[in-house]
A and B are shown apart, each in its own frame.
Chain A
Amino acid sequence: MLYFSQLKGKKVITTEHIFLGVLQDILFLGTDTPIVTEMAVRKTNGEKMYLPVETIQHTNHVVTVHRDFTPIEPKENELSVMQNLMDRQIIDIKGNKVVRVNDVAIQDKLGKAWYIAGVDIGLRGILRWLNLEKAVIPFYKITRLESHPHFLSWVDFEPLELEKGKVQLKKDVDALEKLRPEDLADYLEQTNIRNVNKVMSQLDEEYAADVIEDLNVNFQSALFRRFTPEKAAKLIELIDPEDAVDILLTLPKEKRKDILKVLPEKKQKKLIALLKISGTQIGHLITTDFVHMKPTASVQDAFSIIREKAKNIEFTYYVYVLNDTDQLVGVINIAELFRKNPGTIISDFMQQDMVVVHLTTPLSIAIKRMLKYKIYALPVVDNAKQMLGILRFNDVAEDLLEEL
C-alpha cells in the first residue's frame, strides 16, 4: 500500500537519473475499479506533464520512470486525487458531514495496475503529511488510542458523485438502522446481492432478521446461500417460522440440512414438521396457460401475441418474459404495455425482481405473498428457474375456502 502523502512532492527521475520534475497529482478512472492512469509532474519551468503510470519503474525516496517515457494528455473522464479526493468533505447518504479525506491510499501490487484502494480519514492520515506518523506510533501503543489507520474503502463511495465534486458514502450503518426494516428492504432490493450481503453483515442480528423477512424471495434465497450455516441458523431462529420454512424451501437440500443441523433441537423439530406438511401443495392448482414472450420482443409484438393468445387463455393480467432456455427473466403488468411506445423493447422495462413460488411453497405462504404484493397470479418456477405455470389468486382462494 502506498499513500498519496508519500508520493506528492517527490522528485521524478528517469532510470538514467535525469531529473524531470516533482510529482504533483495522480489521475484515476472514476469507475468501480479506480485504476490509476497518470501522474502529473510539475517541471522546473512550472509546466505540467502527464506520465502514464506504467512508466514508473519503482518508488522509494524518488519516483523513477523508464527512460523511454512519453508524456500523454489526460482523458476527459479521469478524476484527480488533488481535485476530487484529497481534503474533500465526506458526506453520508443523507448529506451529513462525516469527516474529511486526510490521505489517499493507492494499491501498488507489483506487476499489477495501480488502483485507488480508499481514503484515510484518521489522525494518522494527517500525521503522515507532517512526517510524524512514525514518531507517534509508540504513543498510540501506550495509550491504545488509535492503533490502525481509519480507512474507508473505495467500494463505500459513489463514484458518480465524485465527478460532481462530492465524496458521498454509499451507506452509513448507523443511519440505516434508523430506517424501518421494510424501507431498508425496499432500498436493498434496488441494489445487487453483493451489496445486500455487505449491509446485512453490518446490521445487528435482530434487525437483520426483520429486514430479511421483508426482502423478496429471490433475495432471501440468494442471501441464505451465501451465509454460513451458523449465521443462517441464527437468523432463521429470529424469523417467523412460516417465513423461515419458506426460505428453507428455496435452498438446495444439502444447505437446508446443514442449517437445520446447527439449530437448537426444539426449533429444529418444529421446522422439520412444518417442512413436511409443506410438501407439494400447489401442484394441483397450477395453471399452465399463460402469456409469455421473448425479452427482445417490442411492445407492438406483445400486443399481437396477447391478441392471438387471448383466444384461448382467460387470464391475461400479466405477461411473462422467458429467455431462450425458458427461464423466467421478467414480468410485465399488461397495463404497463399501454403506457409504452409501440417500438419499446420489452426487456427495457420489464420487472426483473419478481415474486415467485415453487412447487414446494405452502399454500398459505403463496396467498400471503399475493396479498402482500397485491399480485393476482404468481409464476411458479423450478430450481432451474424454468417456468412451470402460474398460480392464480382465485384458485388459491377457492382451495382454502374448501378447507374451512
Chain B
Amino acid sequence: MRKIFKRFRRKLLLILAVVGPGIITAFADNDAGGVATYFVSASKFGYSMLTITIPMTIVLAVTQEIGSRMAVVTGKGLGDLIREKYSIKVSLVVFFFLFLVNFAVIMQDIGGMKDALGLFNLNPYIFLPVVLAVLFIFITKASYKKIEYFFLFLILFYIAYFVSAILAKPDWGLVAKSLVVPQGPISFSYLFTAIAVLGTTITAWGQFFINSYVKDKKLTPDKLSYNQWEVYFGSFLTDIFSLFMMVAVIATLFVNGIQIEGAADAALAITPFAGEMAKYLFGLGLFVAGFIGAAIVPLTTAYAFSEFFGYEGSLDVDFSSSKLFYLFFIVQVVLAMLIVLLPNVTLFKFALYASFLNGIFLPVIFIFLYRFANDVEIMGHYKNNTFQNLLLIASSIVVTIASLIGIVGIFLGLS
C-alpha cells in the first residue's frame, strides 16, 4: 500500500513539474476576443453551437501537442527552427506577419479590459495604464516560476463563467445532447459561425507561444509523455470553460431571444435574467481574459523576436540582460493601449483585422509545423507518426477552410 502511495506521489510530482505551458496557452486562447466570439455565437445559435466543443478540443490538443513536443525535443522555438531552416528572408516575412496579427489581438484584449472596467464603472483612462504598468513590472522582475504561478492563478477566475452558467439554470440534458448532435438546423450562417469560433481558439500566436514557453521551461524528453498529457488536459479544461461560457449565455439570452454584439453587451443583457451578480462575474471574467491575452500575446512576439534574431530572451533573466525582449513587450502593450484609449475606437474592427490576418497566416504556420514535425534531422525518433500526421493534416484543412470562410465572410459582411 505504501509502495503504491509512494509511486503515486512520485508521479504526481512529475506531473506538477510539467504543469504550465499546455494549460496556460490553452486558456490564453480564450482571451477577450475568444470570450466575445463565444458569447455572440451562443446568443445567436443557442444549444446547437455547443456541438463545436469536441472537434475544437481535438484540433487544439493535436496542434498544441506537436508544438510542445518540438520544443521539448529540440530545445528550440518555432522562430529558431524557421530561421535555421529557411534563413533570413523567410524569417523577416514570418515575423512581420506575426507582429501584425499579434498586435491586432493585443488591441482586442486591451479593448476587452477597457469594456470590463466600464462594467464596474471604473475609469479606463486611470485604471488601464495602472494595471498594465503593474503587469510590466511583474513580468520583468518576477522569476519564470512566479510568473507561471501567477498565470495559473489567473485561470481560477474563469470559474466566474462556471458560476454564471449554474446561476443561469440551463437545461443540462439538452446541453449533453447538443455536445454530440447539433440541436437545430444546419444553415450556412451556422457553419460560418462555428468555424469563426474555431478560428479564435486555434491561433498562430498560440503555436508560437506554446513552443517558446515549453522551451523556456527547459523540459527534457524523458518528461515528454507527461508534457503531452498536460497539453491534452489543458485543451480539455479550456474547452470545458468555453462550454460553460456558451451555456451561461444560451440559458439566459438565447432562450429569451436576445442577440448581442459583444462581450460587454452580454454582461449588461444578462442582468435581468441572472441578476447583478452575473453581470459582475461576466465583467470579471472578461477582464481576466483580456489581461491574460494582453500579457501572453506580446510575450509571444517578444519570444519570436529573440528567436528569429538570436538575442537573449527568456522570462528567467531580468530586464538588464534581456533588454530587447522586454522592450518588445512594453512597446506593443503601450501602443495598443494608446490606440484603444482613443475616443471613438470600436473593438469590432480589431476583431475583424485580427481574424483576417490570423486566417492568412495560420495555414503557413501549419505548413512549417508539418515540415518540422516530420523532419528526422530535427525530431529524431520523436517525429510525427502517421496518426499524428493525419490529425494534423485534417486539423490544418479544417482551420484553413475556417479561416478562408472567415475572410470571405468579412468581405460579404456576414459576421
Q: Chain A interface (Cβ within 8 Å of chain B)?
A: 86-90, 96-100, 102, 121, 126, 129-130
The distance in angstroms between the C-alpha atoms of A107 and B96, with both chains bound, is 33
Kindly supply a per-residue 1/0 record for chain B positions 293-310, scoring 1 wherever the CB is within 8 Å of any chain A CB and 0 otherwise: 000000000000010111
B 55-110 contacts with A by CB, 8 A: 80, 83-84, 87-89, 92
Is A129 a contact partner of B309 (Cβ separation < 8 A)? no
Across-interface contacts of A90 in B (CB, < 8 A): 310
Kindly report which residue of chain B lies nearest to residue A125, judged by CB atoms.
Answer: B88
Kindly report which residue of chain B lies nearest to residue A165, judged by CB atoms.
Answer: B84
Is B88 a contact partner of A99 (Cβ separation < 8 A)? no
The distance in angstroms between the C-alpha atoms of A370 and B77, with both chains bound, is 53
The distance in angstroms between the C-alpha atoms of A353 and B308, with both chains bound, is 44
The distance in angstroms between the C-alpha atoms of A99 and B306, with both chains bound, is 9
Most buried by A among B89, B92, B312, B313: B312
Which one of B89, B312, B313 contacts A130 once the chains associate, using CB atoms below 8 Å? B89
B 276-327 contacts with A by CB, 8 A: 306, 308-313, 321
Smallest CB–CB gap between A354 and chain B, Å?
40
The distance in angstroms between the C-alpha atoms of A87 and B87, with both chains bound, is 6
Across-interface contacts of A99 in B (CB, < 8 A): 309-311
Q: Using known A-B contacts A129-B89, A130-B89, determine if residue A97 contacts B84 with beta carbons closer than 8 Å.
A: no
Across-interface contacts of A100 in B (CB, < 8 A): 83, 308-310
Across-interface contacts of B83 in A (CB, < 8 A): 87, 100
Kindly report which residue of chain B lies nearest to residue A89, judged by CB atoms.
Answer: B310
Q: Using known A-B contacts A126-B92, A130-B89, determine if residue A87 contacts B84 with beta carbons closer than 8 Å.
A: yes
Across-interface contacts of B308 in A (CB, < 8 A): 100
Smallest CB–CB gap between B36 and chain A, Å?
38
Kindly report which residue of chain B lies nearest to residue A121, judged by CB atoms.
Answer: B310
Across-interface contacts of A130 in B (CB, < 8 A): 88-89, 92
Write 17 A-B pairs (CB below 8 A) sorted by A numbering.
Answer: A86-B87, A87-B88, A88-B84, A89-B84, A90-B310, A97-B313, A98-B311, A100-B83, A100-B310, A102-B88, A121-B310, A126-B88, A129-B87, A129-B88, A130-B88, A130-B89, A130-B92
The distance in angstroms between the C-alpha atoms of A161 and B410, with both chains bound, is 52
Q: Using known A-B contacts A88-B84, A102-B88, A130-B89, determine if residue A97 contacts B312 with beta carbons closer than 8 Å.
A: yes
In addition to A99-B311, A100-B308, A129-B89, 11 A-B residue pairs with Cβ atoms within 8 Å of each other are: A86-B87, A90-B310, A96-B312, A97-B306, A97-B310, A97-B313, A98-B312, A99-B309, A99-B310, A100-B309, A102-B88
Across-interface contacts of A89 in B (CB, < 8 A): 80, 84, 310
The distance in angstroms between the C-alpha atoms of A90 and B87, with both chains bound, is 15
Most buried by A among B80, B88, B311, B321: B88
Kindly report which residue of chain B lies nearest to residue A99, judged by CB atoms.
Answer: B310
Kindly report which residue of chain A lies nearest to residue B310, judged by CB atoms.
Answer: A100
Kindly supply a per-residue 1/0 record for chain B positions 127-152, scoring 1 wherever the CB is within 8 Å of any chain A CB and 0 otherwise: 00000000000000000000000000
Smallest CB–CB gap between B322 and chain A, Å?
10
Smallest CB–CB gap between A215 and chain B, Å?
29
Across-interface contacts of B89 in A (CB, < 8 A): 129-130
Smallest CB–CB gap between A58 and chain B, Å?
26
The distance in angstroms between the C-alpha atoms of A121 and B310, with both chains bound, is 10
Across-interface contacts of A87 in B (CB, < 8 A): 83-84, 87-88
The distance in angstroms between the C-alpha atoms of A96 and B309, with both chains bound, is 14
9 closest residue pairs by CB, A with B: A100-B310, A99-B310, A97-B312, A129-B88, A89-B310, A87-B84, A87-B83, A87-B87, A126-B88
Smallest CB–CB gap between A276 and chain B, Å?
51
B 310-349 contacts with A by CB, 8 A: 310-313, 321
